[in-house]
Amino acid sequence: MAERMEFQSEAKQVLELMINSVYSNPDIFVRELISNASDAIDKLRIESLSDQALAEYAKNGRIDITIDKEAGTLTFADNGIGMDHDELISYLGTIARSGTGEFIRAMQEAKNGVNSDLIGQFGVGFYSSFIAADKVTVETRKAGGSESWKWESTGDGSYTIDKGDRETNGSAITLHMKAGAESEDEHDITKDYLSEWTLRSIIKEYSDFVTYPIYLKESGEKEDKEEEKPVNSMKALWTRPQSDISDEEFNDFYRHISHDWENPMERIFYKAEGVSEFRALLFIPSHPPMDLFYQDGKHGVQLYIRRVFIMNDCKELIPEYMRFIKGVVDSEDLSLNVSREMLQQDRQTAQIKNSLTKKVLDTLRKMMKDMPDSYNKFWQTFGVVLKEGIISDFRHREEIMKLCIFDTSDEDKTTLEDYVINMPAGQDKIYYLAGSSLKNLLNSPKLEAFRKKNIKVLLLSDPVDEIWVNNARKFDKYDFVSAAAEELKLPEGVKAEPKETEELEKSGLVKKLKDALGNLVEDVKISGRLVDSPVCFVQKGEEISPQMRNFFKAMGQNVPEERKVLEINPENPLIKKIAEESEKDGFNAGEWSSVLMGMAAIADGEPVPDGKKFTELLSRLLEK
Ligand code: ADP
């Protein structure tokens, strides 16, 4: 008796989208099913290295695609690891991946046909069968297991599992193809996927580099072993001389390993000889993958050892801050039965990682010099990720810093090297201002004195910025100094000392405000940095900024209470007026201090603590 089961709710949603969406490239399901088959053979081979009993099954991996025109089916069979009863349920009935919600949303929002990228990147490959099929049957037998199972679904929210009669290990996925559209309303699968010619060209295009032979035949065709020729070439591109490989071939290869539908932005071909011998073919994608910021996102390159595939997503070979890099590393020296644990401790792996890191940084440096437009695009896409390296990779810190591009208070962009070269005489610090949005930073009163003195300030608006800047502390021999620091000394000769402080001092306003504010602020001071604005907050000592405070709080960490210093501008007309008022009887220091606090918060792009009270106060004071 077949068991009937429900798909987990997210799986149900994904399936529904697969069935009902229009795809910019429906061919994707062929690639996804071949890639699953190839993974299944890989898994068997890897398991057989540690489990002698499986060795016999692991030989001669192959993928067989069979067209049955009469039945209207297409079958993808492999002799890989297979699945047992429980694996069928957990692998094909659920999606255990973070970001499923975002994926579903992105699919729903795609109006002009779903960009097939989404599917490959997200790894819901199996479900893509329902793009072309209205029923899918999976017959599978786990290698070394004694039972075979048959899974079947029409994608309507449930599936059945029953005993099967497959006699050899591996899986056969049979797609019962949708009929061509009969009316305009139906989704049309325009291609005839039951045509041998069509399939052959799709396989050639997207799966040529799969390392197992893919055979294609029509059901009923005589099997003639002599004649049998795989559709794919299986050639390991990276073993050929670079000059023999066309751009076309490189791009096809990239798309095959990355599941990307677009061409890469840049490629790196590298052959290392000497202490450790390996070849690497790496790519910088032209757009970010879905999982770039997920904790369990895929990262790393494929590892081959002497042309034999060992593992996907090998994190040990490429640093985390280069997790956007896709590619292949083929080592001559590592041992074939290497495990992840061994890789983590292996000296050679560390060497490969170090050379690849250098190579990528060199390539980026070259791009920056020779192809500034491409580099800018790279920076916009992956800069945030690369910057993490300033914190985590001490050895390459300077090189990474040289690759950074920052917004500045002059509304242009600069590298650190250019910043330093263009500093006015007398300046020996790199000034920055960190915050959560570029717009707020550009409007910050803290920049006024700098602008007046023609000193550029770097505007850092990525969350990671403040962490690395505090971590690195210098670039070359120049310290990073926050424009929001309390004790800010502008360079000699470009001094911004306040001139008219006498009146203000005489009025005693500073003390009155301070008394009124009590412990709401650390201090109230006469400002040397403000030019036009009346007030701003600055940070006491090495205080962490409001953004960092929010960040740490969000991470559940205890952060010390904020210690703000309120600076007031002695030359500002409003402050002058308040100072005047403060000498009269009935001056309400409490009200005025609240208003000034609110204004300082607004200038930082921060919310005013009690907005309603603030507006009431303000309108009352304005009336006067
Ligand atoms: P992904 O391949 O990205 O993990 P899929 O939705 O394509 O996602 O497949 C889900 C899981 O189902 C795979 O991880 C694998 O464990 C299993 N699976 C799919 N196809 C096969 C197959 N041909 N043989 C064995 N297991 C398979």
User: Given ligand 1 and candidates 91, 128, 148, 149, which is best to mutate, with the most ligand atoms within 8 Å of its CB?
Assistant: 91
Q: How far is it, in rounded angstroms, from Cα 227 to Cα 219?
A: 16
Centre of ligand 1 to C-alpha 71, Å, is 25
The single residue listed with the structure tokens 């994190």 is 315
Residue 118's pLDDT is: 65
Q: In what order do the strands lie in the sheet with 429-434?
A: 413-414, 406-408, 458-460, 429-434, 478-482, 474-475
Centre of ligand 1 to C-alpha 133, Å, is 17
Centre of ligand 1 to C-alpha 138, Å, is 11
C-alpha of 390 from chain center: 17
Angle at 88 between CA 85 and CA 94, to 5 degrees: 135
Residue 114's pLDDT is: 64
Of residues 103 and 375, which shows the higher confidence score? 375
Residue 557's pLDDT is: 72
Residue 268 beta carbon below 6 angstroms from any ligand 1 atom: no
Q: How far is it, in rounded angstroms, from Cα 86 to Cα 201?
A: 36
- Return the half-sphere exposure (C-beta side, CA atoms, 13 A cut-off) of residue 328: 25
Output the residue whose Cα is nearest ligand 1's atom 17. Answer: 91
Centre of ligand 1 to C-alpha 298, Å, is 15
Centre of ligand 1 to C-alpha 103, Å, is 18
List, as one string, the DSSP characters of 520-566: GSSEEEE-SS-SS-SEEEEE-TTPPPHHHHHHHHHTT---PPP-EEE
Centre of ligand 1 to C-alpha 54, Å, is 20
Residue 36 beta carbon below 6 angstroms from any ligand 1 atom: yes
- Whether pLDDT at 190 is above 60: no
Q: How many residues does the chain have?
A: 624
Residue 18 beta carbon below 6 angstroms from any ligand 1 atom: no
- Residue 499: band (very low, low, confident or very high) from pLDDT cuts 50, 70, 90: low
- Residue 185: band (very low, low, confident or very high) from pLDDT cuts 50, 70, 90: very low
Residue 61 beta carbon below 6 angstroms from any ligand 1 atom: no
Residue 542's pLDDT is: 60
Residue 80 beta carbon below 6 angstroms from any ligand 1 atom: yes
User: Given ligand 1 and candidates 36, 121, 137, which is best to mutate, with the most ligand atoms within 8 Å of its CB?
Assistant: 36
Q: Which is the closest atom of ligand 1 to the Cα of 124?
A: 6
Centre of ligand 1 to C-alpha 241, Å, is 34
Output the residue whose Cα is nearest ligand 1's atom 18. Answer: 36
Output the residue whose Cα is nearest ligand 1's atom 23. Answer: 37
Residue 126 beta carbon below 6 angstroms from any ligand 1 atom: yes
Residue 480's pLDDT is: 95
- Average pLDDT in the 105-115 region? 70
Residue 575 beta carbon below 6 angstroms from any ligand 1 atom: no
Residue 171 beta carbon below 6 angstroms from any ligand 1 atom: yes
Residue 91 beta carbon below 6 angstroms from any ligand 1 atom: yes
Residue 151 beta carbon below 6 angstroms from any ligand 1 atom: no
Q: How far is it, in rounded angstroms, from Cα 503 to Cα 191?
A: 84
Residues 6+ apart with CB under 8 A from 44: 54, 57, 58, 61, 79, 80, 81, 143, 169
Q: For all residues of the chain together, what is the average pLDDT?
A: 87
> Tens digits of per-residue pLDDT, 31-86?
889 989 998 998 898 888 888 889 888 889 999 999 999 999 999 999 999 999 99
- Average pLDDT in the 266-284 region? 93
- 143 neighbors 81 (Cβ within 8 angstroms): yes
Q: Which is the closest atom of ligand 1 to the Cα of 35?
A: 2
Residue 184's pLDDT is: 47
Q: How far is it, in rounded angstroms, from Cα 574 to Cα 201?
A: 75
Residue 416's pLDDT is: 97
- Residue 277: band (very low, low, confident or very high) from pLDDT cuts 50, 70, 90: very high
Centre of ligand 1 to C-alpha 36, Å, is 5
Residue 124 beta carbon below 6 angstroms from any ligand 1 atom: yes
- Average pLDDT in the 222-227 region? 64
- Average pLDDT in the 248-270 region? 90
Q: How far is it, in rounded angstroms, from Cα 615 to Cα 501?
A: 29
Residue 497's pLDDT is: 54
Residue 46's pLDDT is: 83
Phi-psi region of 123 (alpha: psi -120 to 50; beta: other; left: phi over 0): left
Centre of ligand 1 to C-alpha 77, Å, is 13
> What is the pTM (predicted TM-score) of this model?
0.71
Of residues 261 and 368, which shows the higher confidence score? 368
User: Given ligand 1 and candidates 30, 32, 39, 258, which is best to mutate, with the most ligand atoms within 8 Å of its CB?
Assistant: 39
